[in-house]
Structure 1
Amino acid sequence: MAQQTTSAALDGAAEPPILIIGSGSTGLALAQGLRKAGIKCTVFEKRTSLAQERDWNMGLHWGAPILKTLMPEEWWSRIQSLQVDPHVPTKEEDTLTFVHGTTGEPLAAFTFGPFYRLRRSKLREFLSEGLGIEYDKCLQDISYAEDNQSVTAHFTDGTTATGRLLVGADGARSTIRPLLLGPEQAAVKRLPYTATFIQRKFPTEQALYLRKFHPLFLACAHPDNHFAFFGMQDAADADDPSSWTFFFYISWHSSLEEQDATAHWTDAQRLTQQKEFGKKFVDPWKSALEWTPDDARVWYLGLTDWDPGQEGHRWDNHSGLITMVGDAVHPMTYQRGQGLNHSITDAGKLLDVLVKINEGGDRKELIEKFEDAMIARAGEEVRTGTANTMMLHDWDRVMQSPVFTKGLRKNH
């Protein structure tokens, strides 16, 4: 029986679309840029909708001007509504402070801006507007036309989609990366660091107390070689502090052996561990963990990275028919707040290339140049980010960490 074809397939003489695998922020930002440029594309998402069990927030700063160019001009005025606290106007410049984990004294502070702290779910919903997204499409394989003029995505439901170029934007656990490199080379590198994340609402009095320590977020390093973060996730109602959701974690050095040995731990065990760590911290961490019920849900995650500049990590792009962007190609640790900015930069740079290809430019040459530049830029950040994570969990070196010496500025 002939394989069923999705709506993105070739249709007679119609111009085949760009295929984007993954509806994360990167893939959607690229799709909006293509839509703005009048280039047809279709986004494929393995989930049944944009909804997800977990939500988190991300820092957008030096990547903001690029994101602005990818969307209709009138949309940018809505960026405030995507913030963790949409009621507090974004400042042109802001000062972010890192504190000592046992005394609360400032360790470092740097001023820059504007700085946007965006909820991931809101950003994805915003960037999905007006796009063609096909859900419940889990990629299984990729094939290439003999004439090198088209690429076909094969999904687990038996359908296919054919386009003139395929972009992998399917995140750190990418399906496309192993298809291009094999499972061993494509596997993320597990790092000996981990964290347990908590999202929690508190009664009004407690919420007001916790919020007074920071406007958006606060970070600290602890002499016990721990690092911690505390911030807003959602300030639903400015006049009702009990509606505010806080987002906080303590991270620590954890060998791969320890991670494997505790892989079966329950939420209660994870939270108990965080509460023990928290006893040695200053507020807001100490009180927030004391006030968190023992049966609260938590989210545990070991840190990983994948360096696209590492030997053996260069993929065959099949004469420019396939490429990758965002966390699919450079997943990095998060303590320096660079991931979203590099991913949005990928989308902006690739859009420029796709416009040139659409105008008749050499696809193979343009995609090669795009990938080389992306690998150099973001690969350096992957390495910087991992070095930063190591130093933040080593009290003797914490002040030499990139986040303290460079702040959130991008590498040059």
Structure 2
Amino acid sequence: MRIIIIGGGIGGLALAAGLRRYAFDVTVFERDTDLAATGGYHITLDGRAQSALRELVSPEIFERLLGSASALRLRDPDALWDRRGRLLGHGPYLGDSASVDIDRVTLRTLLAEAVGADLRPGRTVTGIGRDEDGSPLVMFADAAPVRCDLLVGADGTHSLVARHLAGVPTNAPAGIIGFSGRTRVDDLGPAERARLGPRSGLAIGPRGAALYIGYLDPVGNAVLDTPALRQAVTTGPTYIWGAMFPDSGDTMRDARGAALQSALLARFRREGWSPKSLEVLARADPNTVAAFRFHAASTHAPDLAPWPAGPITALGDAVHATPPTAGMGAGAALRDAAALLTHLHPVAAGTTTLTVAISHYEAEMRLRGSEVLTQAMKTVRWILATNTPFGAVATPLLAAAHRLRYRTDKTRSRPRTARP
């Protein structure tokens, strides 16, 4: 059985690594020529995503992955701030968390290594078709079509494969435009380093403005104390942040680097954000600042993969495009890949048909996609709700109420001293 995967992102490479590990005939076509030239947030892998990776890659690759990752259990609890940098509250205790954070570049590079010669970079797919016997055909602008027995679309939000199957786009803009960047902790002033601390957090303001600040330290907070195995591109404590605004169709997305950084800071200042809360943006490396639009598929499981099972399928954002607001999109793609591999083993053994295997995989994938989308869209809707007349008034009031409750709870938790 020959399998072709279109897309060399996290999900596509993970599936290919697993297929190659179990001696399937697999080829990945990826349009990028440099797999390290990828942006985005760091990736959070919960226990389920890590279990999926264990099935897909060799123990040696998995150990190097953990050796390049940062443990959430070593971080302080997450924080919630208002637009002036005032603390509203903390998230749950992380000391027993099994989740890890890893650079997207690091994970993608390690997965590409696991795929090896079965990865064909610099190959752009232009169309999908069928051979005379119904087998999938992959078309290229500069090469002859390639036939396969199973075609898997791992080509992301704007998936050519998923659109071919569904006949329409499988997702839509979620109403938020995002901006990301990286700031070394050492580049911040002492006061801001102390305020942010070794933790991630979210700052919110009225009119749909929000700023996520993710803490990543694969050296000081390493999952495994194995410096010889470490391949992390982040070599010290770093904040990888994501700014969010309602998508109003403005031209800020067209800017790049320092120009985009300046425009982003000006936008926050117009919304009344304090200089203190924006220091992490102002001191970011301009070369890392980028813009992107949030896309989302339906949260209803029956709406995902709305096509009959057959020799063409898809995984990850190609089916259940997920905003980054829950930190679960990449993990879901990894779980898709492991599930598809599991269902292909009986096909290779001759104990079931490909159509039955794909049908079972897609049924599970719809439920998984619905779960992660529901979580991610809760935060999206919350942010968008602040961009209403009611939200513009209510956000400062809710922030004040949160501060009062936080201070009250903190006072109550202080030990009482005995009277003399």
Q: 1:191 to 1:49 in 2, by over 3 A?
A: same
1:324-362 Cα offsets, whole Å, 9 max, x none, are: 001111111111111012111101111111112111212
Query: Which of 372, 394, 397 is matched with 2:385 structurally?
Result: 394
Query: Aligned-pair distance for 1:262?
Result: 5.2
Q: What is the root-mean-square deviation in Å for CA atoms of aligned residues? A: 3.5
Query: Aligned-pair distance for 1:181?
Result: 2.7
Q: How does 1:13-412 map to 2 (within 5 A)?
A: 16-52=1-37, 54-62=39-47, 63-83=49-69, 91=73, 95-102=77-84, 104-112=86-94, 113-131=97-115, 132-148=118-134, 150-182=135-167, 185-186=168-169, 188-201=171-184, 204=187, 206=189, 209-210=192-193, 213-223=196-206, 225-232=208-215, 245-254=238-247, 258-260=248-250, 264=254, 268=259, 271-277=262-268, 280-281=272-273, 285-291=277-283, 298-307=289-298, 309=300, 314-316=305-307, 320-360=310-350, 361-395=352-386
Larger deviation, residues 106-115 vs 305-314: 305-314
Tell me, in whole angstroms, the C-alpha distance in 1 between the residues paired with 2:196 and 2:10.
30
Q: 1:103 to 1:236 in 2, by over 3 A?
A: closer
Does the Cα contact within 8 Å between 2:46 and 2:98 map onto a contact in 1?
Answer: yes
The 3-state SS of whatever aligns with 1:102 is coil
1:192-250 Cα offsets, whole Å, 9 max, x none, are: 22222233447656389537623252222235542211134677899xx9976532233
Query: Aligned-pair distance for 1:129?
Result: 1.8
The 3-state SS of whatever aligns with 1:329 is helix
The 3-state SS of whatever aligns with 2:34 is coil
Tell me, in whole angstroms, the C-alpha distance in 1 between the residues paired with 2:13 and 2:107.
9
Query: Aligned-pair distance for 1:19?
Result: 0.9
Q: 1:220 to 1:192 in 2, by over 3 A?
A: same
Q: Higher helix share goes to which structure? A: 2
Does the Cα contact within 8 Å between 2:68 and 2:218 map onto a contact in 1?
Answer: no
Does the Cα contact within 8 Å between 1:17 and 1:165 map onto a contact in 2?
Answer: yes
Tell me, in whole angstroms, the C-alpha distance in 1 between the residues paired with 2:170 and 2:154.
16
Q: 1:49 to 1:290 in 2, by over 3 A?
A: closer
The 3-state SS of whatever aligns with 1:153 is strand
Query: Aligned-pair distance for 1:168?
Result: 0.6
In structure 2, what residue type is equivalent to 1:128?
A
Does the Cα contact within 8 Å between 1:227 and 1:393 map onto a contact in 2?
Answer: no
The aligned residue for residue 3 of structure 1 is none
Q: 1:325 to 1:211 in 2, by over 3 A?
A: farther
1:16-73 Cα offsets, whole Å, 9 max, x none, are: 4211111111111111211222222111111223232535311111422222222122
Q: 1:291 to 1:20 in 2, by over 3 A?
A: closer
In structure 2, what residue type is equivalent to 1:288?
V
Q: 1:34 to 1:53 in 2, by over 3 A?
A: closer
Tell me, in whole angstroms, the C-alpha distance in 1 between the residues paired with 2:62 and 2:25.
23
Q: How does the TM-score come out when normalised to structure 2?
A: 0.76
Give the number of aligned pairs: 370
In structure 2, what residue type is equivalent to 1:65?
S
Q: 1:374 to 1:243 in 2, by over 3 A?
A: closer
Q: 1:228 to 1:380 in 2, by over 3 A?
A: same
Q: 1:92 to 1:248 in 2, by over 3 A?
A: closer
The aligned residue for residue 411 of structure 2 is none
Query: Aligned-pair distance for 1:96?
Result: 2.8
The 3-state SS of whatever aligns with 1:49 is coil
Does the Cα contact within 8 Å between 1:275 and 1:289 map onto a contact in 2?
Answer: no
Q: 1:92 to 1:306 in 2, by over 3 A?
A: same
Does the Cα contact within 8 Å between 1:202 and 1:242 map onto a contact in 2?
Answer: no
Query: Aligned-pair distance for 1:378?
Result: 0.5
1:168-210 Cα offsets, whole Å, 9 max, x none, are: 111112121222233xx21631232222223344765638953
Gaps of 5+ in 2: 222-233, 399-420
1:240-285 Cα offsets, whole Å, 9 max, x none, are: x99765322331223xxx3156555565266334345158446863
Larger deviation, residues 378-387 vs 282-291: 282-291
Query: Aligned-pair distance for 1:119?
Result: 0.7
Does the Cα contact within 8 Å between 1:235 and 1:245 map onto a contact in 2?
Answer: no
Tell me, in whole angstroms, the C-alpha distance in 1 between the residues paired with 2:68 and 2:275.
27
